[in-house]
Amino acid sequence: MEGMKAMKDQAVLVAAAQKLKQHNIKATPQRQGILAYLMSSSEHPSINMIHQYLLKEDYKVSLATVYNTLELLSAAELVTEVTIDSAGHVRYDYFEEPHYHMICLNCGRIDDIYDDCYLKLEELAAKESGYQVISSYYDVHGICPNCQQKQQNQQKD
């Protein structure tokens, strides 16, 4: 099973490298480090979390470089920004395949949802509007199961 995961991870890295090349973006160690972290992370890290990770891994990188790299990777459609609240706090996600996000309004937890209904929505929107869909981002905001449980426990007390 681990062999299959390693092969998938390698295929994802190769696909990312090809996408960088298509956009004429040099695959610097910092960019590769950011991509590798986002590919392996399920927590949708903030820019500060990414920066701290890179420093811990001995990358010599400034916060501004991380920010600029994320902007570049976002333009190449390798990374997507996820705004988690009305204050504009942003998290980042590696965008290997189309998906949408469930975002908890209490704790900021983000879950990826992989379902083709997302793609059907794009098709429907294009058909009804006449638009050619280039990209779309869909986030659903609510209360996660953990926060729901906490609320129920507080109501019992």
Binding residues: 104, 107, 144, 147
- Residues flagged as binding site for Zn(2+): 104, 107, 144, 147
Q: HSE-up of 55 (CA within 13 Å, CB side)?
A: 10
